[in-house]
């Protein structure tokens, strides 16, 4: 799905996060692993998701949902 308003305030904040930040959980650069999350209710992009560890961040770069790092999924049972 393409964004209807790529100049919205939230999209600009999230775009800046993808350029300059690293994921707090897996330490990958957000420009490589960040995916924008579209909100149907707001009709705007309001979160970003790290596809490596599935952590979701808000526009203020606070963790909204904690993900599980891919390397850690099976190691607890070994």
Q: What is the pLDDT of residues 33-63, one digit of tens each?
A: 999 988 888 888 889 999 988 899 998 999 9
In a domain, 75, yes or no: no
In a domain, 56, yes or no: yes
In a domain, 34, yes or no: yes
Contacts of 22 (CB under 8 A, 6+ apart): 28, 29, 30
User: What's the chain's average pLDDT?
Assistant: 81
The helix (H) or strand (E) run that includes residue 34 is strand 34-39
Smallest Cα–Cα separation from 13: which of 55, 66, 51, 57?
57
Q: What is the distance between the alpha carbons of residues 38 and 29, in angstroms, rounded to a whole number?
A: 21
pTM: 0.76
Total domain count for the chain?
1
The whole domain housing 52 covers: 9-70
In a domain, 25, yes or no: yes
Cα angle 31, 67, 49; round to 5: 30
In a domain, 50, yes or no: yes
């Amino acid at each position: 799905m393409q964004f209807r308003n790529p100049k919205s305030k939230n999209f600009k904040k999230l775009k800046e996060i993808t350029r300059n930040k690293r994921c707090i959980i897996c330490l990958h650069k957000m420009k490589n692993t960040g995916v924008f999350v579209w909100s149907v209710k707001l009709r705007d992009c309001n979160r970003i998701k790290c596809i490596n560890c599935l952590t979701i961040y808000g526009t203020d770069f606070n963790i909204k949902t904690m993900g599980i790092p891919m390397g850690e999924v099976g190691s607890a049972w070994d």
